[in-house]
Amino acid sequence: MQTETFALLVKDHEMVKGIIEDLLETSPSAKKTRLELLKTLKKELLDHENLEERVVYPPLESRKATRDLTLEAYQEHHVVDQLLEELESLDFKDEAWKAKLTVLQENLLHHVQEEEKELFPKAEKALSKDQLKTMEQQIAQAKA
Ligand SMILES: [Fe+2]
């Protein structure tokens, strides 16, 4: 059972995955498109991570059922951030650019999968109805 609590975060996941797919289809000569998409990716990714780390992770970190997965999630954000930084400092024409973006995509897909299939369902069991409702409102507020 998936409640509405995390629906907006799942929507974010879909959007970010889409931006990466678009980026992977660009050619090394499409510098302007790569720059613009990369800028969008960074903004969406960082906003999303900040929201999760501010609103979602703290209450889950303090519960036994969700603690380990939450600690992992912070680290996964960190790895994705690092890959993004490295990507930014690489030359667009470099062969490694696409390879690094692919590794970023793999890391992100793993993280998103773990949240959607494990962390969020566990959170729905570990938190009370009121807590979930509050979280849902905080997420909606931040997205507004
Ligand atoms: Fe996340």
pLDDT single digits (tens) 10-44: 999 999 999 999 999 999 999 999 999 999 999 99
Residue 85, domain extent: 4-143
Q: How far is the CA of 78 from the centre of ligand 1 (A)?
A: 10
The number of distinct structural domains making up the chain is 1
pLDDT at 1: 46
Q: How far is the CA of 14 from the centre of ligand 1 (A)?
A: 12
Q: How far is the CA of 28 from the centre of ligand 1 (A)?
A: 29
pLDDT at 126: 95
Q: Which residues of the chain fall short of a pLDDT of 70?
A: 1-3
Q: How far is the CA of 138 from the centre of ligand 1 (A)?
A: 16
State the first-to-last Cα distance of the chain, in angstroms, to the nearest integer.
26
Q: How far is the CA of 29 from the centre of ligand 1 (A)?
A: 31
Q: How far is the CA of 30 from the centre of ligand 1 (A)?
A: 29
Residue 88: what residue type?
A: E
Please provide the DSSP assignment of 104-134 as one string: HHHHHHHHHHHIIIIIHHHHHHHS-HHHHHH
Contact by Cβ (8 Å): 78, 84: no
Radius of gyration of the chain (CA): 16
pLDDT at 4: 86
d(CA 128, CA 46): 28
The closest of 95, 97, 77 to 23, measured between CA atoms, is: 97
Q: What is the largest CA-CA distance in the chain?
A: 52
Q: How far is the CA of 77 from the centre of ligand 1 (A)?
A: 6
d(CA 129, CA 66): 16
Q: How far is the CA of 62 from the centre of ligand 1 (A)?
A: 17
pLDDT at 3: 63
Q: How far is the CA of 46 from the centre of ligand 1 (A)?
A: 10
